[in-house]
Amino acid sequence: MPNSVLLMLNQPSADAPPHLVGAPTFALVDPALPQVSALDLGVTRGDGVFETIGVGDGHPQALEHHLRRFARSAAALDLPTPDSDVWRTAILAAIAELGAVPESSVKTVLTRGVEGDGRPTGWVHASLGADYDSARVDGLRVVMLDRGYRHDVEQTSPWLLAGAKTLSYAINRSVLREAARRSADDVIFVSSDGFVLEGPTSTVVYRSGDRLLTPGTGLGILEGTTQSSIFQWAESLGLGTGFERATPETLRQADAAWLVSSVRLAAPVRELDGMPFPVDHALSAGMNAHLLGLRE
Amino acid sequence: MPNSVLLMLNQPSADAPPHLVGAPTFALVDPALPQVSALDLGVTRGDGVFETIGVGDGHPQALEHHLRRFARSAAALDLPTPDSDVWRTAILAAIAELGAVPESSVKTVLTRGVEGDGRPTGWVHASLGADYDSARVDGLRVVMLDRGYRHDVEQTSPWLLAGAKTLSYAINRSVLREAARRSADDVIFVSSDGFVLEGPTSTVVYRSGDRLLTPGTGLGILEGTTQSSIFQWAESLGLGTGFERATPETLRQADAAWLVSSVRLAAPVRELDGMPFPVDHALSAGMNAHLLGLRE
């Protein structure tokens, strides 16, 4: 059983010329070998978009939601529209090739391709999951860091691509190194005008009394695919849910908080800016059991 | 004579394990074939740095200046230090392989490599220059666009990597599409608090009376290698030079302005936000003649 499966798509978009004549298809290639041109704008300019999808026992989580967000990110970058049918087929083929494992993940990547070529590049990579038990049960030490942008840049300055999941994620990696320097595991971004935004690869969810809240969209942050699943579940339990702007002080006063994402699922915050933070173990366990169950 | 030359380095950094045992060296590879792993953090996260260096008749412009900036960008991303001697040798080899052409350019790329591998990836790509006569002589239509960041983020929030030349350049490409939608050719970024910053791939220089001015460093913008050469030349002519913070209004009142960069050189602004802007043809011609001469 392979540790990692890589499929290259020959026609990642229906509205761009294919790399090969014929039906849209994909090739199983060796992930240990180079598969991307050094001239691809995906690598020379971070000019592309991606999704990462959690997979349990061969079942991808919220696949259609991820495919829609993938298409929205592509539209934000004026990339050719990814052909959802082709991507869905490739994703399921990669998962099948990886074989049945308890937890794995699939990443989809669409780049603008080699400059001047006019053809996007697309691939699907499936790989075994890491061990997320510690994050899901014990929780994370989190620091809040300035994202530099006002909360309204998505409206005022759409060219900044806030809210699109692009390959230009150097900052999303850099803040994790800053977190490590501060003896923390992860980050919550705060807008330059003082609103809680999101994690570098996660959505912020917090509990205030019997309500689960999240900052919501329109703040230049990603629509949360996993947060959406959690809210549906919470409502079925009779909890309230809502999208509300929050300040760092709102978050500090919350009864519990989580960073939620498709692969790691719900990771409770156990320390915020160096101070102990309450963990709702029962709700965390419920969320993660529900999310794992969605993959079945 | 090839149109494009690609060299892959086996030891891009002295402080990271090499890809192959033996002396630091590089391999001439086919740029038409895939050379980069789809799992390289350079492509999956835009996690790397680059430089682009203008070359005239086989002579790279301000090579040492570019090598120093390359190392500073790497340091900002906590990447292993690029070995300048190895990169210099590779750059000159790529230029020699491309052969003597009037204008060409060399791009150096250093990525964090495949996740978990601990070895950076490095390459040098030399390619023929485009025709920049129109930009240098006739000039550019330029629009000013919000960069989203305050002018002081480099000091307050170094994790945002402002001032480092990273592979996460999706915004630098996106703003050119926004410029095209506004019938313009290029962009000048303005900070969220109203200071002129830089172009997406250039430095802003403007003339006020008998002085050449630039916003200068410390604003989260790149130190200009070409701007530095222009200022040295201007001082030799008896012009004053200076680093001064400028607002959009300062720029609108300037006697002339240029976007300067290593490959396109000095491109005068001929239209600013849709309004005609004065072009100093004599000074433009002088700058470009000087910059082209530096490559000899």
Tokens of B248: 């959009």
Q: Which of A5, A71, A87, A77 is nearest to A45 (CA)?
A: A77
- Which DSSP string do the residues of A137-195 spell out, in sequence order? II-EEEEEEE-SS-TTHHHH-GGG-TTS-BS--HHHHHHHHHHHHTT-SEEEEE-TTS-
B36 and A43 within 8 Å at the Cβ level: the answer is yes
Phi-psi region of A139 (alpha: psi -120 to 50; beta: other; left: phi over 0): left
Interface mutation target, options A156, A173, A176, chain B, most CBs of B under 10 Å: A173
| Partner-chain residue, chosen from A32, A47, A156, that has the shortest CB–CB distance to B173 | A47
- Which phi-psi region, left, alpha or beta, contains residue B93 (left: φ > 0; alpha: ψ -120 to 50)? alpha
* Smallest Cα distance from A6 to chain B, Å: 8
- Are A129 and A263 in contact by the 8 Å Cβ rule? The answer is yes
**Are the beta carbons of B167 and A172 separated by less than 8 Å?**
no
Domains and CATH numbers, chain A: 4-128 (3.30.470.10), 133-294 (3.20.10.10)
A83: helix, coil or strand? Answer: coil
Chains A, B: CB contacts under 8 A, how many?
185
Q: Please answer yes or no on whether A39 and B31 come within 8 Å at the CB atom.
A: yes
Q: Is B178 on the interface with A (CB under 8 A)?
A: yes
Handedness of CA A203, A78, B3, B101 (dihedral sign): negative
For tokens 């222009």, name the residue. B230
pLDDT of residue A21: 65
- pLDDT at B288 > cutoff 80: yes
Contact A1/A126 with Cβ under 8 angstroms?
A: no
Q: Are the beta carbons of B43 and A148 separated by less than 8 Å?
A: no
The pLDDT profile of chain A, 296 residues, written as one tens digit per residue, is 678 999 999 888 877 777 666 777 899 999 999 999 999 999 999 999 999 999 998 899 999 999 999 999 999 999 999 999 999 999 999 999 999 898 999 999 999 999 888 899 999 999 998 889 999 999 999 999 999 999 999 999 999 999 999 999 999 999 999 999 999 999 999 999 999 999 999 999 999 999 999 998 777 778 888 999 999 999 999 999 999 999 999 999 999 999 999 999 999 999 999 999 999 999 999 999 999 988 75
Which contiguous run of DSSP H or E holds residue B54?
strand B48-56
**Cα–Cα distance list, A18 to A9, A110, B34, B37, B232 (Å):** 9, 14, 17, 21, 50
B146 interaction partners in chain A (CB closer than 8 Å): 153, 156-157, 160
* pLDDT per position as a tens digit, B232-285: 999 999 999 999 999 999 999 999 999 999 999 999 999 999 999 999 999 999
Closest-CA distance of chain A to residue B27, Å: 14
Residue A232: partners with Cβ closer than 8 Å, 6 or more residues away: none
Of B38, B46, B167, the CB nearest to A31: B38
The tokens describing A28, both together, are 């199983």
ipTM of the complex: 0.95
Question: How far is B53 from B51, CA to CA, in rounded Å?
Answer: 6
A125 has a chain B CB within 8 A of its CB: yes
